[in-house]
Amino acid sequence: MQKVNVELGKNSYPILIGDALLSRSDIFRQYITSNQVMIVTNATIAPLYLDPLVDALEGLGLQVKSVVIPDGEQYKTLEVMNDIITRLLQEKFSRDCTVIALGGGVVGDISGFAAACYQRGVNYIQVPTTILAQVDSSVGGKTAVNHKLGKNMIGAFYQPRAVISDISVLKTLSERELHAGLSEVIKYGLIRDTEFHGWLEGNMDKLLQRDHDALVYAIKRSCINKAEVVAGDERESGIRALLNLGHTFGHAIETGLNYRDWLHGEAVATGMLMAADLSCRHGWLTQDDVERIRQLLSRAQLPLVLPAGLDSQRMLDLMAVDKKARDGSIRLVLLKSIGEAFVCDNFNGEKLHATLEHFQP
């Protein structure tokens, strides 16, 4: 088992990465604060992994309940979160209970926000079941639900007690989810880890083939990168914003599609290439680097143009609602080179329009 620590003082916690961790009741016991445990999962994951986790926890003599929510970004809403809160109340769970998020990014985000709100905050554990969740959304304490006008607009910073990433569950991950998760892996190389980007260029085929050692290395290296950034900026007042490379574009795509049709990682992939293109138009990034980025995203089988129906003006309107906007102005994470990102609010508007036009299908 591999371990990465997220160093946040009293809010510090471990990320545990290994095989068959769902059955390791001894690991879970360390991070559960009472006998009451509520597992939140979705309709896709429940038939696969809910029973093994329930069996492991009930073997400790714990009172284990569960709530199964629909699968999909369109269900990351206040209404569905209310179903989780209602279940906790119906079962008379106290403020020292533990919520366990068993699923991908949607389950983790909505469960974490429910845990942050229930009785003003209860213990929770992330058990991510997708690559995207294992390398990104489960780490760092960002919890939220979506609004029809913007993604992740309602939420809180709330850290888990632990992140327990079972590599063996990735064997049931769909090809599409695998590719979408690799988008967030690629992001770490682009924003701060040039060596890792080179490793990804040399090992993408292994990742696509789900080579065990390659997956473990990529997930651990990604978690180390995110843990270091989060430790330096827990509440995104500075360098943590760099983790949003491609996300202003990507969130606009997701919102414009009503959180349907495209996965988060797919939207971020197109967004990262758009950020690279805009960086190049400003003379900050070379055309050769843009092509390297395009090639790696293409090898990961990710979309590289905007979906039909999202014209330039619609994209601009949606981007202006992004959380990273300041005083009504769009702020973007752009690139000076592969491995060096920066936050920019003084980009050229005409160049942004040119980028948006360039990526029309």
Six token digits for residue 183: 């988008």
| Whether the domain at 2-170 and the domain at 175-358 fall into the same CATH topology | no
Is 162:31 a contact under the CB 8 Å cutoff? Answer: yes
Phi and psi, residue 21, nearest 5°: -75, -20
Spatial separation of the C-alpha atoms in residues 237 and 285, rounded to whole Å: 25
Q: Are strands 150-157 and 142-147 parallel, antiparallel or unpaired?
A: antiparallel
Give pTM, 2 decimals.
Answer: 0.94
For 2-170, CATH number out of 3.40.50.10860, 3.40.50.1970, 3.40.1360.10, 1.20.1070.10 equals 3.40.50.1970
10 Å CB burial of residue 33 (0-12, 13-18, 19+) is middle
pLDDT of residue 325: 72
pLDDT of residue 65: 98
Report the SS3 class of residue 18: strand
pLDDT of residue 327: 63
Q: Are strands 142-147 and 63-69 parallel, antiparallel or unpaired?
A: unpaired
| Catalytic (active-site) positions | 120, 142, 184, 226, 236, 240, 244, 247, 251, 264
Q: In terms of Cα–Cα distance, which of 127, 75, 141, 71 is closest to 99?
A: 127
Taken in order 114, 118, 120, 126, is the CA torsion positive or negative? Answer: negative
Going from N- to C-terminal start, the domains of the chain cover 2-170, 175-358
At the top level of CATH, which class does the domain 175-358 belong to?
mainly alpha
Pick out the chain residues at pLDDT < 70: 324, 326-328
Q: Return the residue matching tokens 């109340």.
A: 89
The predicted-structure confidence for 230-262, as pLDDT tens digits, reads as follows 999 999 989 999 999 999 999 999 999 999 999
Spatial separation of the C-alpha atoms in residues 11 and 249, rounded to whole Å: 31
pLDDT of residue 251: 96
Q: Return the residue matching tokens 């929770």.
A: 124
Spatial separation of the C-alpha atoms in residues 163 and 138, rounded to whole Å: 7
Is 243:226 a contact under the CB 8 Å cutoff? Answer: yes
Spatial separation of the C-alpha atoms in residues 136 and 146, rounded to whole Å: 18
Taken in order 207, 212, 217, 218, is the CA torsion positive or negative? Answer: positive
The predicted-structure confidence for 37-67, as pLDDT tens digits, reads as follows 999 999 999 999 999 999 999 999 999 999 9
Q: What is the rounded (10 degree) CA torsion for 243, 248, 252, 253?
A: -60
